[in-house]
Structure 1
């Protein structure tokens, strides 16, 4: 099984565009190696990070929040690192639960019969 991929291959594996992957590199969320001919080479670590980034983007994490998480991934395990990750996740869970309640209220409103009265 391959453990290194080109940008074309990693784009297919992650369902991300090459431009998106390059943007994540520019934002220092990932750091692929370079081959002798200067092509990007992506390892299992970048594959994992890209998949995780895609999930976090879908869950409405900002790039700043994702960057914080990527920095935490690269740190040694510690109580402080664990607490930072936990705090970030608790905030995001709270934000998502608030959004779910908001969308549930919208759905309820849209499903209820609309009574319109017109006056002349």
Structure 2
């Protein structure tokens, strides 16, 4: 387990949790210890990538099931629905980060010019800006 934790930059607790949730299923040695092979390491790296992309563990579990499911009309429909939802979320997130990048640049310029009033104004605009509403 320690070697897998190093390779994947995951804590041992995280690896145990992934095992408990059924996301990975490492072999067990005669001593009962988890034995992570290369396949499990690659799966953990995929899980980390999906989490970094903003998927929660339930969504990660869904993706892993879709990967392992045989192709069927219901699997296809479920996949399309899931991907459309995620695409919409990613678009909202992209808009959020583009706006944050521009606002950060504007604040940086105001700080360099010591324009305190403009800084305050830019920060308060963030709160009111609907482009930053990733929940709605």
Higher mean alpha-carbon deviation, 53-62 vs 108-117, is at: 108-117
Match of 1:37 in 2: 31
Query: Normalization by structure 2: what TM-score?
Result: 0.69
Query: Aligned to 1:64, which of 58, 67, 75?
Result: 58
Query: Normalization by structure 1: what TM-score?
Result: 0.77
Higher mean alpha-carbon deviation, 41-50 vs 20-29, is at: 41-50
Higher mean alpha-carbon deviation, 73-82 vs 91-100, is at: 73-82
RMSD, matched Cα: 2.1
Instruction: State the shift of 1:30 in Å.
Output: 1.0
Query: Would you tell me which structure has more helix in proportion to its own residues?
Result: 2
Give 4+ residue runs of structure 1 displaced > 3 Å after superposition: 77-80
Instruction: State the shift of 1:47 in Å.
Output: 1.8
Higher relative contact order, chain-length normalized (CA < 8 Å, sep 6+): 1
Q: How many residues align?
A: 111
Q: How does 1:17-96 map to 2 (within 5 A)?
A: 17-96=11-90
Q: Which residues of structure 2 form unaligned runs of 5+?
A: 119-136
